[in-house]
Amino acid sequence: MNFNIEQIRADFPILQRKIYNRQMVYFDNGASTQKPRQVIDAICKYYESDNCNIHRGVHHLSVVATEAYEETRKLVRDFIHAKSAGEIIFTKGATESLNLVATSFGKKYVGAGDEVITTIMEHHSNFVPWQVMCAERGATLRIAGINDKGELNLAEIEGMMNDKTRIVAIAHVSNVLGTINPVKKIIAMAHRHGIPVLLDGAQGVSHLPVDVQELDCDFYCFSGHKMYAPMGTGVLYGKEKYLEEMPPYQLGGEMIRDVFVDHTTYNDLPYKFEAGTPNVEGVAGLHAAILYLKGLGMARIAHYEDTLVEYATRKLLEIEGIRIYGTSANKASLVSFLIGNIHPYDAGMIIDKMGIAVRTGHHCAMPLMDFMKIPGTVRASFAFYNTTGEIDQLIAAIRKVREMFA
Ligand code: PLP
């Protein structure tokens, strides 16, 4: 597939939509991406010809649906270059993947007096599960700060590592600042101390090529809906050595091997962590989304989106009174900013009236907002179907906001 923007846009029916009689500009991809026709068709095809519960049937439809589901697991394995399909667990999203690890890893490995390291830039989904697990288990959550550019300080993080540290849980890419964290270095550092690392890849996997073996991360979590796949799909990658040891997160059908009246034995990986009927049609859509991303090529997507971030940053800085939050040289996919003293919510409302979707507020990162001493930001987050022309429209809208508040 060529990286032809017009052709790409034609694959996304919703991009033709008009909002307030204007061609919609969708810059809320960090919250959720739009879906290409190929994904929508895959879901329709699933319901029109393959719909059936998986894993428990000998009849034809069940076998077909099961095979398709397991093929997607292999596709995900290859997409993030995991060692085995058993290390790929389907969840309903990054949040569920993160809760699974915090709960299950916590039960197995974290006790009173232990420590967990995270950072101030985390999304609540990679913060609250650790905070609560630590409180329940008498452990301490240690929180690394950031510098003025929105970057982590590696020396600070290494200084927090000690023989009580059980895990480091950090974002691959910040959903507020856009910072691509130096995760490979952090992982190598943690491993020198014998500490596993979880990466919250919710904002990573749709923008960057991800190779979990090369990164050597111990867990990697992401959501399907942020990578052009349906809502309610997600993945937890975990190294087998941890997943084998961790207790199941939920109990019920499929995750069992045998149930006796007085005890239960558990299924092999990955099924041990997939209790109940999964989102089979969502996974069919995830399959189509991954094929679509592979067709474009993650490296080309990353390169194109970098040009959008650079263009938006340059144009924003031409406007008086703009403050950008997250100015690391190593950034992906988004710009977060404030316009003078205008409240982000007010700015977002006016920008919306011009048919442009941006997100405003704390972006589920309240500790980060407190750290930066701001109520929130306006965030424009990009996808490969966005254009510099659309960014020009955003810039015009921001100028209008300034005029209205002058
Ligand atoms: N982590 C990060 C960095 C995110 O940006 C998000 C969503 O915005 C999440 C986790 C949670 O993702 P989901 O709501 O799809 O579970």
**Could you tell me whether strands 197-200 and 234-238 are parallel, antiparallel, or unpaired per DSSP bridges?**
unpaired
What is the 363 CA–ligand 1 centroid distance (Å)?
A: 9
**CATH tag for 5-30+298-405 (out of 3.40.50.2020, 3.30.565.10, 3.90.1150.10, 3.30.2350.10):** 3.90.1150.10
What is the 359 CA–ligand 1 centroid distance (Å)?
A: 14
179 in Cβ contact with 331 (< 8 Å): yes
Domains 5-30+298-405 and 40-294 share a fold: no
Residues with CB under 6 A from ligand 1: 93-95, 123, 125-126, 171, 175, 200, 202-203, 223, 225
Residue 385 has a pLDDT of 98
Name the token pair of 144. 């690394």
What is the 366 CA–ligand 1 centroid distance (Å)?
A: 14
- 364 is an active site residue: yes
Residue 99 has a pLDDT of 98
- Which tens digits make up the pLDDT trace of 61-86? 999 999 999 999 999 999 999 999 99
Residue 57 has a pLDDT of 80
**CATH tag for 40-294 (out of 3.40.640.10, 2.40.160.40, 3.40.350.10, 3.40.50.300):** 3.40.640.10
For the chain, residues with pLDDT lower than 50 are 1
Minimum CA distance residue for ligand 1 atom 14: 95
Q: Where are the domains of the chain?
A: 5-30+298-405, 40-294
Residue 2 has a pLDDT of 54
Residue 241 has a pLDDT of 98
Element (H, E) at 43: helix 37-45
Closest atom of ligand 1 to CA, residue 363? 8
CA torsion through residues 173, 250, 46, 14, sign: negative
Burial class (CB in 10 A: 0-12, 13-18, 19+), 43: middle
Residue with tokens 């990573």: 204
Q: Give, for ligand 1, the residue of 33, 175, 333 to mutate: max count of ligand atoms closer than 8 Å to Cβ.
A: 175
CA separation for the pair 372, 124 (Å, rounded): 16
- The number of residues making up the chain comes to 406
| Alpha carbon of residue 278 to chain centroid | 20
CA separation for the pair 368, 374 (Å, rounded): 9
Say whether pTM exceeds 0.85. Answer: yes
Element (H, E) at 290: helix 280-296
Residue 121 has a pLDDT of 98
Closest atom of ligand 1 to CA, residue 223? 15
